[in-house]
Amino acid sequence: MKRISSALGKLNWRNRTGAVLALWAIGAIALPAQTLSTLFSFDGIDGGSPNRGLVQATNGDFYGTTFSGANGQGSVFEIAPGGSETTLYSFCAQSGCPDGAFPDAGLVQDPNGDLYGTTQGGGGNGGSGTAFKINPSGTLATVYRFCAEGHCAHGQKPEAALMRASNGDFYGTTYEGGAHLHCNSKEGCGTVFKLTPSGKLTTLYSFCAESSCIDGNAPNGGLVQAPNGDFYGTTSFGGAYDDGTVFQITPSGTLTTLYSFCAQSQCADGQEPLAGLVLATDGNFYGTTFLGGADGAGTFFQVTASGTLTTLYSFCTQSDCTDGKYPEWELVQGTDGNFYGATDAGGAYGAGTIFQIANSGTLTTLYTFCAQNACPDGSTPSGGLLQATDGNFYGTTHSGGASNHGTVFRMSAGLGPFVRPVTTSGKAGSPVKILGTDLAGATSVTFNGTPAKFTIDPLDSLITATVPAGATTGNIQVVTPTATLLSNVPFQVP
């Protein structure tokens, strides 16, 4: 690692809040009332310091991880939309933490209802991390223990959420490990891997294949799959200028570096992307860099599939950085087409922001954290936002709250409810689970206008439909007694 990133970049993000608040004084600017509700405050016993965001499961509840608390090694928790929290699992339940420790990534649900995630520590093998699955009732199974081979050739310390690809396997990155040990971390430069649900891991690529690490070093964010089947992601370091890259990798492991950051004078194009990319409805990818830009506090950018990058916004453009600075987390594209995200710091009180930004680069600060004395609303938002099927955004903060151990919050941006297919593609005759809110009494489900047979789960948050013969690619529509709901993404019919 190098220069500012050694002090700020990873900042030992688990303990970063004190450093952040010490670096930037809390402001005293009054803001109008915001539409943010604190649903739950961690107390350190039930978990603490969540570092990543949430996933909405097919039962309508939210699931996430905390980095500390519980046994001191982190936890998996469930929280109902109304704020009732249940700690499902506390890591390091056995001596030596063979089940893992310090989960630093969010979760992903498979169609069977199990949730998959990773820990960056524990698991034996020098504490190099695990991949696990856990069912909604809290039964956990360790699927894979990293660093099972000499020199951690298969990677270690995964720090980003897994993503479930169209073939049903999971794909992810490790921040360290891999076949090449000549990068700055001296523990390997990171990997891209494939993991089957049963736990077979294949290392697709080891970064720093060249001594200059022009192919990238230390991927911190996750992957996104494009319609062509390839995966796209970022590395925090490496590239032509050692300030990070955007890359494309095929399912077989052929990697192409699409862009190297800091190609412009004084890194006006950004440097050190810590978050992965989001594939937008216009076919382009969007993301953020933690540093760089016109004011050195990070950027919002667009990059095409061929690697043409456009810097759309530089954070800290406004006086006293009231627009936020140091965006670390993945963005989400809302159902209105805008992007939503969070900054680690800046804002009127120095404790981070939630923002909305258009693909043209117009930014609106929606909320500034620590708006009240002692930050009961949370401080230092952690992880990306989730837009749930009720239209609201949900997320976590690393600290603040009633006990200063972090929070779970809900924020309304005035967007309406929608439905989300759990899998986004399927052939005629295949079952598709459709997640929503208040689906009781639904009278119609159509795939791009073609009627489908369906059943409603007793929880009223899930419909199981059969892709009808003659269906074509397009949005799913569900008609209920109170609303007509469209899917947030088109459903692909091969």
Q: Domain range for residue 468?
A: 420-486
**What number is the average pLDDT over the span 410-433?**
95
Indicate whether 138 and 217 sit together in one domain.
yes
| Residue 464: exposure state from Cβ atoms within 10 A (0-12, 13-18, ≥19) | middle
Share of the chain above pLDDT 90, in %: 85
Tokens in use for 396?
């976590």
pLDDT reported for residue 449 = 98
Within a domain: 194: yes
Indicate whether 328 and 427 sit together in one domain.
no
Q: In terms of Cα–Cα distance, which of 329, 289, 330 is closest to 313?
A: 289
Domain boundary among 368, 389, 411: 411
Indicate whether 333 and 443 sit together in one domain.
no
CB 231 within 8 A of CB 171: yes
Indicate whether 180 and 113 sit together in one domain.
yes
**What number is the average pLDDT over the span 60-80?**
93
Residues in the chain: 494
Indicate whether 335 and 441 sit together in one domain.
no
Indicate whether 202 and 254 sit together in one domain.
yes
Domain boundary among 358, 377, 411: 411
In the chain, the number of structural domains is 2
pLDDT band, residue 459 (cuts 50/70/90) = confident
CA distance 463 to 477: 12
Q: In terms of Cα–Cα distance, which of 484, 487, 454 is closest to 468?
A: 454
Indicate whether 47 and 77 sit together in one domain.
yes
Q: What is the CATH number of the domain that holds 425?
A: 2.60.40.10
pLDDT band, residue 182 (cuts 50/70/90) = low
CA distance 158 to 175: 6
CA distance 398 to 99: 23
CA distance 154 to 221: 17
Domain boundary among 384, 411, 438: 411
Q: Please write the tens of the pLDDT for every residue from 74-125.
A: 999 999 999 999 999 999 988 899 999 999 999 999 999 999 999 999 998 8
User: Strands 431-435 and 420-421, how do they pair?
Assistant: antiparallel
Q: What is the CATH number of the domain that holds 34?
A: 2.130.10.10
